[in-house]
């Protein structure tokens, strides 16, 4: 996830993108099964505590960074989450370019929201 944050310039995100935003983010909500993060990305917190990250039993299960001023291209390394990622919402941001072929390898993905961006091409198989 850190690579995603660096490649998409998390410091410019509207909500909880940089470590200097700790005071504007609330404490994470968690229980033994599911954690929904609210801490700044790249902070000293575990990535399951980062804003928009949902974990189940400590494993990244979903990313919701919709309408968050995320700018750039999606990096192929996102497939490092392929065996676990169930939902990905990057809608209403400033993403562009073609989707990396590796996106087709997200075998557990059940919900994908990429609308209101500037992608070109087709979704990889």
pLDDT at 91: 93
CA distance linking residue 16 with residue 119, whole number of Å:
24
Burial class of residue 105 (count of CB atoms within 10 Å of its CB; 0-12, 13-18, 19+): middle
What is the pTM assigned to this prediction?
Answer: 0.77
* Confidence band for 32, pLDDT divided at 50, 70 and 90: very low
* Confidence band for 118, pLDDT divided at 50, 70 and 90: very high
CA distance linking residue 55 with residue 28, whole number of Å:
11
Q: Looking at the DSSP assignment, which residues form a beta bridge with residue 63? A: 53, 88
pLDDT at 14: 64
Asked whether the beta carbons of 69 and 95 are under 8 A apart, the reply is: no
> Is residue 118 helix, strand or coil?
strand
Q: What percent of the chain has pLDDT over 90?
A: 15
**Phi, then psi, of 9 in degrees rounded to 5:** 45, 70
Mean pLDDT over residues 45-69, rounded? 84
Q: Looking at the DSSP assignment, which residues form a beta bridge with residue 119? A: 97
Tell me which of 7 and 80 has the higher pLDDT: 7
pLDDT at 57: 85
Mean pLDDT over residues 28-37, rounded? 44
Helix (H) or strand (E) holding 7: helix 2-7
């Amino acid at each position: 996830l850190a690579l995603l944050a660096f490649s998409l310039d998390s410091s410019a995100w509207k909500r909880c993108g940089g470590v200097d935003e700790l005071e504007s983010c609330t404490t994470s909500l968690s229980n033994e099964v599911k954690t929904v993060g609210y801490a700044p990305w790249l902070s000293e917190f575990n990535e399951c505590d980062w804003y928009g990250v949902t974990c189940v039993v400590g494993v990244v299960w979903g990313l919701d960074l919709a309408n968050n001023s995320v700018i750039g291209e999606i990096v192929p390394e996102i497939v490092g989450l392929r065996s676990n990622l169930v939902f990905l919402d990057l809608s209403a941001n400033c993403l562009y370019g073609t989707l990396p072929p590796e996106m087709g390898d997200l075998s557990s993905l059940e919900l994908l929201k990429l609308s209101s961006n500037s992608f070109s091409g087709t979704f990889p198989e």
